[in-house]
Structure 1
Amino acid sequence: MKRRTDEKISALLYAYDADIRAQYGCFAGVDEAGRGPLCGPVCVAACILDPEAPVYGINDSKKLSEKKRGALFDQIVEKALAYRIVFVGPDIIDRDNILNATMGGMRQAVEGLDIVPNLVLVDGNRIPAGLTMPAQPVVKGDATSASIGAASILAKVSRDRYMLELDKQYPQYQLAKHKGYGTKLHYELIAQYGIQPFYRRSFLKKQGYWPEGK
């Protein structure tokens, strides 16, 4: 039953893309992961799917299990006509703020594609400034367009894998458990072990949390 539901959702997302493709031809979907955590990068992905090689099961990455996201990630990478994944680090986030850092990452991802799209669909209600091709925002785009959904999976899986590697270097912060989000446990560990270079200092200051002497 769940498989049939997943396939139905995927078919709706691909139908949306087919309508866009009929109007514009080649287009890309763009999404991000990791805007909210206290540490680590925000990850942005752009993706141009191949309509002749559909990936069944695509949906908003937040609605998928970790195992399902991983399996879909591999299929998207294999079948997509083009994709690009960009990490924007805490230094840029602190310098430019999270919104501008994310928009800059989206622009980099799109401009880094091996194929130049005629249109860019961006998840959310904003588009990056300075794009050299037309763009449209799509609210809840990762649950509307297969291309944006694919980008959301690429971004989410890439960031989670990055945080798992960071966890191996800094096990005391238990990053594998919370992926950098501001959980009660995470704040307690920051108070105990202090701030590392991968933390977003602007986030901690904004939330009024800055451990003395750390």
Structure 2
Amino acid sequence: MPRVLLVEDDPAVRKGVQLALGHQGHEVSPAATGEEGLALLPSFRPDVVVLDLMLPGLSGLDVCRHIRERDQVPIIIVTARGDDVDVVVGLEAGADDYVVKPVRARVLDARIRAVLRRLAPSAAEGVRPRPETHGTLTIDRTGLVVTHEGRQVPLAPSELRLLLTLSASPGQVLSRQQLLEAVWEHSYHGDIRLVDACVKRLRSKLGEAARYVHTVRGFGYCFRAA
């Protein structure tokens, strides 16, 4: 049963989402403030954090940054407006996905399950391929571990899945829409801000190895280690 930490200050919304996710098979621990959510994090050990951006006291953006300083747990932010600049800021702060209020239980459940699938090994059962090396990067697709010059790179689920997708076909250019479908499972004409923000975060964590992730202006991205 997936464990969901729900940080939402509106009592009605919090209760409604908690009940809906419970009916979908999730164990939900609710928090009314960012401070309460951070306090619950180490003891509850959630599989996913659903985080409202508009919180009293410590803002949702600050909560997101605090979590990313210590943990790579998937984060789905909730915003009142899909075109709000806070969406981009939230994604760049470390969120893996977002949903727009009013929150629809089926949509949120689908996003939760999709982000959890990003953590699942992609190798076929019973087969454990050897870690692959691309320049100074080593990628273990089964163990879901990425190292740069021998040091592990801590990646959030969307960042890891993005790197795995790009590096699976070195030199192949993938459009933002293709990456949305492969990484976020958004099959509709989705929000390319998810891709661009994730690439920005990935590059910041890769350090010198960020040069392997190339931008193809006006189209998308590709991975070139040579």
- TM-score, with length taken from structure 2: 0.26
Higher strand share: 2
- TM-score, with length taken from structure 1: 0.27
Higher helix share: 1
* Higher RCO (Cα < 8 Å, 6 or more apart): 1
